[in-house]
A = this chain, B = another copy of it.
Amino acid sequence: MVMSKVWKLVRRPEGMPAAEDFALEQEELPPCGEGDIVTEALVLSVDPYLRYRARGLPLGSVMFGSQVARVIESKNSAWKVGSLMVHYQGWRTHTLITSKSLSAPSGENFGMQPLPDMEGLSNSLGLGILGMPGNTAYFGFLEICQPKAGETVLVNGAAGAVGSAVVQIAKIKGCKVVAFAGSDEKVAWVKELGADHCFNYKTTDVGKALTEAAPEGINCYFDNVGGQFTAEALPHMAEFGRISVCGAISTYNDDQRNIGPVGTRSPFNEGTVIWKQLRIEGFLVFRWDNRWLEGINQMKRWIIEGKLKYKETVSKGFENIPKAFIGLFHGENIGKAVVTV
C-alpha cells in the first residue's frame, strides 16, 4: 500500500494565484497491476502555463505539472525499478502509472518519457534546459521564427527558463539579441548570456528602448509575455517579421483575457499585421514530439561545449510547491523554477 502526498486545486484562482487555492492531501494509490509501475517524485516543475491550465482544471483535481520520478515498483518489463522518467501526472509524491497510460501514443501522454542520459548533469535539468522548456526554446524559436544570421531577435521573459535559452540560441545562430527581463539582477545575467541589449521592463519605456536598440526593426520576436509589452513591441517589427507566441504570462492572471468566446483585447493590431506582412504563430512544444531527442541532444552538446548556460531556482520540500508556483508571478525566479522533494 503506497501513500502519496498530493496538492489539489480547491479554489479557482482569481488574479494572482494564492496559497488558499491549493490543499495538501494524502491519498492511497490503487494496487500496481500487470503492466503498471509506481514512481516516486524526485524533482517537480512549476511553470507559468499552469496558471492558464488552472482556469479549466476541475476543482478537487490534483494540480497538473511535470516531475522527474524514479520507478520504485514495476510490473512492466520496459520500466525497470530504479529507472528515471519525466511524467506529467501532477503535483504528487507517488504515482501509479497504468499499462494503458504507458502504452498510449506519445501525443496522449503529454510528453511522458524516460529521462534522457544526463551525462553527469543534474537530473533536474530534465524539467528545464534538457526538457520541455529547453525544447520549447529550441523548436519554438528555430522552427517558428526561422532566424537568419545577422537578423535582430527580441526576447522577453529573458531570464526565465525558456527565454534565457532563446537568447543564447539566437546568439549561437549569429543574431543580434534585444532582451527584456524584470529586475536589474536578471538583466545583468541576461547580458552575461550574450544579449546585445537587455532592459528592465519595469523601469524602461519599451518602445523607446526598441527605437534605440533596434532601429533596423525586429525580424524575430519570441514572446513569453504578451499583452501590453507586445502592443508596444509590435510597431517595431520589421517587414516580414515572425512572431513565435510561446506564452502570455502578463495575461494569465487576467480572467477577462484569453478565455471565453469573444474579445478584442489582444495586441496583434490587424493594420500592423497586414502592412508589415507579419507572421504570428502560437505553438505547443509537443508538436515536435517525434524530434524530441534532437532538441535535447543539441542543447546538451551546447552545454558541454560551454555555449549554453542555465540557472535554476530550487525550492526544497514538496509542501513548498504552491509557494514556488506563486513566486513565478512575482518575478522571484531566475531561470527554471523547480522543487526538490
What per-residue 1/0 map shows which CB atoms of A261-286 lie under 8 Å from chain B? 11111111111111111111111100
Docked-complex contact B284 and A271, CB < 8 angstroms:
no
* Cα A72 to Cα B232 with chains together (Å): 50
Please determine whether B264 and A265 come into contact, CB atoms closer than 8 angstroms: yes
The number of times this chain is found in the oligomer is 2
Note all chain B residues with C-beta closer than 8 A to A276: 282
Contact (Cβ within 8 A) B235 A251: no
Assess the B280–A280 pair: CB atoms within 8 A.
Answer: yes
A271 vs B48: C-alpha distance when bound (angstroms): 13
The answer to whether A271 and B283 touch across the interface, beta carbons within 8 angstroms, is no
**A248 close to B (CB within 8 Å):** yes
The answer to whether B262 touches A232, judged by C-beta atoms less than 8 angstroms apart, is yes
State which of B245, B262, B272 has its C-beta within 8 Å of the C-beta of A270: B245
Give the docked Cα–Cα distance between A248 and B275 (Å): 11
Taking a contact as CB atoms under 8 Å apart, the answer to whether B258 and A263 are in contact is: no
- Expressed in whole angstroms, the Cα–Cα distance for A231 and B263 within the complex equals 5
For window 274-328 of A, CB contacts with B under 8 Å fall at: 274-284, 287
User: Are B287 and A282 in contact (CB-based, < 8 A)?
Assistant: no
Shortest C-beta distance, A53 to chain B (Å), equals: 10
**What distance in Å separates the Cβ of A162 from its nearest Cβ neighbour in chain B?**
13
A107 to chain B, nearest CB (A): 11
Query: Nearest CB to that of A267 among chain B residues?
Result: B264
Contact A263–B269 (Cβ < 8 Å):
yes
9 A-B pairs in the complex with CB atoms less than 8 angstroms apart: A207-B261, A230-B270, A231-B262, A231-B263, A231-B264, A268-B268, A276-B282, A278-B281, A280-B281
Q: Footprint of B on A, CB under 8 Å?
A: 52, 207, 226-228, 230-232, 235, 245-248, 251, 257-259, 261-284, 287
18 additional A-B residue pairs with CB within 8 Å, beyond A279-B279, A279-B280: A207-B262, A228-B262, A231-B264, A246-B274, A248-B274, A257-B270, A263-B269, A264-B265, A264-B267, A266-B266, A266-B269, A267-B270, A268-B280, A272-B282, A274-B282, A275-B282, A277-B281, A277-B283
